Structure 1
Amino acid sequence: MRKNNFKVAFRELRGKLKVISGNDDLGLVEKFNEAIALIRDYLKDVRTLVLANPFKDKLEQIYFYKFEKPEYYALKIYQVALFTLLSQKPAGPPEMIRRFYLEELEYILRYFKQYAFYYEYYRSGFTAMDEVLFVPGAVMASPLLHDVPELDPEYSTNGDYLFSKFIAYEALQEYILNELLALDRPAGVSGNVEMGISGGTGASLGRQRFEWTGELINVVELGYGIYLSKQLNGGNATLTDIFRWLNDSFGLKIVNPANKLAEIKRRKRISRTHFFDFLQAAFIAYLDEDDAFDPDELLGKGRLN
C-alpha cells in the first residue's frame, strides 16, 4: 500500500509540474521556485514514510533504492539542471544557440563516460552488485563514488544518487535534442519535453495523441512484446525505436525500459506477463459477448478514417 501511495502521489506531482511548466504567466524563476517546492515536499513525505515503515525484507529495500527513490529524486536534479540550462541559454542567432546546446550535450556525455561502469549497470538492469549499491550502510570501496555528495546516511545508498542523476541527465539530454530539432523545425510547429512529459514530435505532429492512463510498467510489457514478436518494419524496428514511438504516442517518458523489465522479472505475487494475461482475458470475454461485433461499437459510432 505504501508503494502504491508513493506512485499515485508521484503521478499527481508530475501533473502539477506539467501545469506549472505550461503556465506562460510565470517567469523562469517563478516556475522553478514553484516546481522545486512541490518536489521538496514530496521527497520529504516519502522519506518520512519510508523511515517510519521498515521494509519487509532486503529485496523490497533494494527495489525501493534502485528503482523508486531514483525516479523520485531525479525530478529535483532535473529541475535544477533545466533551470541552469535555460538561465544560461544565450540570446542570439540559431547557430549560437546550437553551439550552446551541443556543449551541454558534451557535458552530459562526459558524465556518463566518467561513470561508465555504473551507467552500464543502470542501463542493463544488472543485479550482481545490488546489495552494495542499494542497501543503506553497505561499504563499497570505489574511487568514483567519492565524487558523490554526502547524503542522508539513514536514507541513502552507494548507488541511488547516481541512478537519480542518470535518469535526470537522460531526460535533460532528450530535452536538448528536441530543442536542437526545434531549431530546424518549420515556423509554427512546436515541441516540448520535460521530466516525465514528452511533447509530440515526428510522425505524431498534427494527429490526435492519447494519454496512457494505465500503469507505466504495462507499456514496458507491451513494448517488449512488440519488439520480440517483430511486428514493426518487418521485424527491423529496434527496442529504442519502439519505445521512442510509444513515448511519443502516449506522452510518456520511459528513458530506461531495462530497469522496468527487471521489475517485471522480479514479480512474485502476480504473473510476469500480467498485462498480456489481462489483455487476453478481456479480449476473450469480449468475443464471448453476443454483441461483440456490433459495428457501431467497433467504430465508435463513426468511421475509422
Structure 2
Amino acid sequence: MRKNNFKVAFRELRGKLKVISGNDDLGLVEKFNEAIALIREYLKDVRTSVLANPFKEKLEQIYFYKFEKPEYYALKIYHVALYTLLSQRPAGPPDILRKFYLEELEFILRYFNQHAFYYEYYRSGFTEMDEALFIPGAVMASPLLHDVPELDPDYSTNGDYLFSKFIAYEMLQEYILNELSALDCPVPGVGNGIMGATGMPAIAGKKWFEWTGELINVVELGYGIYLSKQLNDGKATLAEIFRWLNESFGLKIVNPANKLAEIKRRKRISRTHFFDFLQAAFIAYLDEDDAFDPDELLGNGRLN
C-alpha cells in the first residue's frame, strides 16, 4: 500500500465496517471481532508501507503523524471503547441508562481536562511544537504524556497516540450524546446500540447519501456554509453544521479545525480547490445546450 493510497483504502475499510455493523445476523461480539480484525490488518499494511517508503520531506512526515496516522488508529481505539461501552451498558428504564451515559461522558471530559494543554493544541491546529510531537525519535520529557503506551521507535512519535485518542473519544462522545438524545426523543431504530457508519445509530427508514469524494472537500463545504450564514438565518453553529454533514453523509469529521489547518498549508493547489472545482463544473454545465433538461434536473420529473 503506497502512502498516497492510504485514504482510499481507509474509505474502503469504513465501507466494510458499515456492512458489518448493519449485519443483523451478527451479535455484538461477532461484529467487534470482525471489525477489529479488518482495522488491525489495515493498520499493519500502513505501517509496512510507511517503513518501506521513507518520507522525503519533514513536513510530509509531520503531516502523516499529526493528521493521517491518528485518524486511522483512532478507529481501533474507538471500536474497542464502543464495544466496552455497549457490553457494560445496563438493562433497565431510561433513567438508569441516562445515568450510565452521563458517567461515561464525565470520564471523557476528565480525560480531555487531564490533557488540556495538548487537547487545545489538537483542536486549535497549532504548529509550534510539531517537530517535537510528530517526528519519530524526537526527545520530549513531559509529565502530561505519562499515560502514552510504550512506543514503536520506528513508527511512533510523542503526540500521534494522544491525538488518536482525542479523535476516538470525540467520536465516542458524539455517540453517547446521540444515545442521550434518543432517550429524550425516542425514534424507531435509534438508541439500539447498533454501530452505524458514523459510530451513531441510524434512523430507520431514512435514506442517506454516501460521500465518496475527498473528505477534505466536506470541510471546505462546511466552512463555506457556516461563513456565508446559509442556515437558520446564520445562527447555525459550526459544530451543528458538521454534525449535520456527518449524519447526512455517514462521515466522521470530529475536528474540522485540523482539516482547516491542512487547507491553509496548501501550496501545490488552490486553498479553495473544491470551490474552484464546483465553480468550473457549474459554469461548464451552464454553457451546455442541454443544461436545463428537466428530466436530468428532477430525476424524471420527480423530486421524491
Q: Give TM class, smaller chain.
A: over 0.9
Corresponding residue for 2:101? 101
| Partner SS, residue 146 of structure 2 | helix
Does the 8 Å contact 2:174/2:200 carry over to 1?
Answer: no
Does the 8 Å contact 1:20/1:35 carry over to 2?
Answer: yes
Equivalence map 1:82-97=2 (5 Å): 82-97=82-97
Bigger shift: residues 23-32 or 284-293: 23-32
The structural deviation recorded for 1:61 is 0.1
Amino acid across the alignment from 1:227: Y
Amino acid across the alignment from 2:275: F
Equivalence map 1:93-242=2 (5 Å): 93-186=93-186, 188-190=188-190, 194=196, 196-200=198-202, 207-242=206-241
Amino acid across the alignment from 1:181: S
The structural deviation recorded for 1:187 is 5.5
**Percent of matched pairs sharing the same residue:** 85
| Partner SS, residue 147 of structure 1 | coil
| Partner SS, residue 155 of structure 1 | coil
1:31-83: CA deviation from partner (whole Å, max 9, x where unpaired): 21111111111111110110010101000000000000001101111111111
Bigger shift: residues 69-78 or 247-256: 247-256
TM-score norm. by structure 2 comes to 0.94
Q: Which runs of 5+ in 1 are unaligned?
A: none
Equivalence map 1:24-35=2 (5 Å): 24-35=24-35
RMSD: 1.8
Q: How many residues align?
A: 302
- Report the CA distance shift for 1:216/1:187 in structure 2 as closer, same or farther (over 3 A): closer
1:55 aligns with 2:45: no
Does the 8 Å contact 2:136/2:155 carry over to 1?
Answer: yes
The structural deviation recorded for 1:207 is 5.0
Corresponding residue for 2:38? 38
Does the 8 Å contact 1:78/1:169 carry over to 2?
Answer: yes
Q: Which runs of 5+ in 2 are unaligned?
A: none
The structural deviation recorded for 1:171 is 0.6
1:184-212: CA deviation from partner (whole Å, max 9, x where unpaired): 233634265557455456xxx86532221
C-alpha separation in 2, matches of 1:293 and 1:119? 49
Corresponding residue for 2:269? 270
The structural deviation recorded for 1:269 is 1.6
Corresponding residue for 1:303? 302
The structural deviation recorded for 1:181 is 1.7
- Report the CA distance shift for 1:13/1:55 in structure 2 as closer, same or farther (over 3 A): same
